[in-house]
């Protein structure tokens, strides 16, 4: 079973007054912050969740599985997630997960009675001027290309 980003946002929406837009914005900000921090070479540690880390991989020799030829694999940088001990214990079932916080109830504003604005004397609207229409110019018909006949010597 897999939870994708849309399902993740839908699960968070009740904590944002059922606003998927606000939940999506919050998720995007978190992901963007983690990505930008790791791009600078810094690690991101979230207590009781885990650590996002940038790992440098050295150049090494590898083998093409189809041809058996040895090839050189370039050095690269990879993103790595190391789960925290608390997360590992919850996933393994060794530790109970605390109950999820209940979303705050929606606050519905009471309608306020508006006072009627004093009536003003109605003014006659000025007659609208007709918009000028632009006439599109027709393209001149293309002339047929003349045949060039070469004289034989």
Tens digits of per-residue pLDDT, 128-150? 666 566 655 666 666 666 666 66
Alpha-carbon gap, residue 17 to 105, rounded angstroms: 8
Summarised one tens digit per residue, pLDDT across range 22-41 is 999 999 999 999 999 999 99
Q: What is the pTM of this model?
A: 0.58
* Dist CA 52 CA 29 (whole Å): 16
**How many Å apart are CA 12 and CA 25, to the nearest integer?**
11
Contacts with 126 (C-beta within 8 Å, 6 or more apart), sequence order: none
9 pLDDT band, cuts 50/70/90, is: very high
* Residue 133, pLDDT score: 61
pLDDT on residue 143: 64
């Amino acid at each position: 079973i897999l939870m994708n980003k849309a399902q993740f946002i839908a699960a968070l929406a009740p904590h944002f007054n059922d606003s998927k837009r606000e939940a999506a914005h919050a998720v995007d900000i978190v992901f963007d912050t983690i990505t930008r921090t790791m791009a600078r070479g810094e690690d991101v540690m979230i207590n009781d969740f885990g650590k996002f880390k940038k790992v440098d991989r050295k150049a090494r020799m590898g083998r093409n599985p189809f041809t058996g030829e040895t090839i050189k694999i370039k050095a690269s940088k990879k993103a790595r997630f190391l789960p925290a001990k608390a997360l590992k214990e919850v996933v393994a079932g060794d530790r109970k997960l605390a109950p999820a916080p209940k979303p705050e109830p929606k606050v519905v504003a009471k309608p306020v009675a508006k006072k009627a604005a004093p009536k003003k004397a109605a003014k006659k609207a000025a007659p609208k001027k007709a918009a000028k229409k632009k006439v599109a110019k027709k393209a001149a018909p293309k002339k047929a290309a003349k045949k060039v006949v070469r004289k034989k010597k």
